[in-house]
Amino acid sequence: MATANKNLSDYDKATIPNASKFRFGIVVSEWNNNITEGLYKGAHDTLIENGVLPNNIIRWNVPGSFELIYGCKKMQEQMVNAVIAIGSVIQGETKHFDFVCQGVSQGIKDLNVMRETPVIFCVLTDNTMEQGIERSGGKHGNKGIEAAIAAIKMAELRKNS
């Protein structure tokens, strides 16, 4: 696993741009919500810790990870500086996992290529529920924190480009 011996929550706050003037959208999948809620908490708390005002964070829920694409597309229309897509897909016994992971990653990529507002990919694609739990606030930290830092950096890049 790529996160072995890593804590996803580690970052140097001194290297993070001032985020106090930015607005962020967070689109959260309700599927595997024991994982996605942990990711959301990590992202939300990190944005707040880095100066984002609570009323400058918009949260929308969608039923599953596949629906993140549409939710993020509509969120881009809300005058936000960046969007974070939060989801969790766990490997099952069928190819459904492959189709959902491929579709979501391609859809989020397409939003980044076709539109001006960056969308951060915070969709865990794990083999087991345990792996998802470990990466959403467990022993490997919280991928939501990493996504929030990426969102701040991309909002700054957009502002300066």
Active site residues: 96
CA–CA dist 70, 160 (Å, integer): 27
CA dihedral 119, 120, 126, 132 (to 10 degrees): -120
Q: Taking the mean position of all CA atoms in its chain, how far away is CA 80? A: 14
Give whole-number Cα distances, 15 to 106, 140, 147, in Å. 30, 22, 15
In terms of phi and psi (left: phi > 0; alpha: psi -120 to 50; beta: otherwise), the region of 53 is beta
User: 3-state DSSP: the chain helix, strand, coil percent, rounded to 5?
Assistant: 50, 20, 30
